[in-house]
Amino acid sequence: MVRRDYFKIPANLPFYEEESFFDTQWGSPIGANQVTTIDDMITTAIGIGTGALLSDSSYHAMTDPNLIGFGYTDPACTPECFLQTVAYNFGLGVVRNGNWLKQTPALAGYYAVEAYLPSQRIAIAVANTGTMEYFADPATASNPANTLYQKIGACLAPNDAPPST
């Protein structure tokens, strides 16, 4: 489904491409490909969210909300270019989603979210695949694992749920 444009298949025609055999290395720089489990995603979310692997100054450089108010929406690079807000802004290698710290890996139809809420020490990891509907309009597509993460976060931390973005 990721390669609809590559094959020049019109949006009004059904298209599905089996991707489970794809070598995920093609979407990453050589040596940057990572394979993980859901348990490792939780461990990573905790390690990143607590700053356990970094000095205090490095942790704050990575997670502090320094970009709020930076940027602007640019139709030429939708959905990537947007104004950084309290609800959703970038740190250094992480996304600040309200009080949650998260990462959102995605490649070739596979999507994930790993997130951590430092104030309540809650870690969430979600991984799933995109549906055909997800790819119907790539310009408006978003990580489908994010919806599940937001629902889980709202159940586990109703007073500090991840803001919808």
Sign of CA dihedral 113, 31, 131, 74: positive
b or e along 105-139 (b: 16 or more beta carbons within 10 Å of the residue's beta carbon)? Answer: ebbbbbbbbbbbbeeeebbbbbbbebeeebbeeee
Per-residue pLDDT for the chain (165 aa), expressed as one digit of tens each? 567 788 888 878 887 777 666 666 666 666 666 677 889 999 999 999 999 988 999 998 888 888 888 888 888 776 677 888 888 888 778 889 999 999 988 776 778 899 999 999 999 999 987 766 666 665 556 678 888 999 999 999 999 999 987
pTM of the model: 0.75
Q: Per-domain residue ranges for the chain? A: 45-160
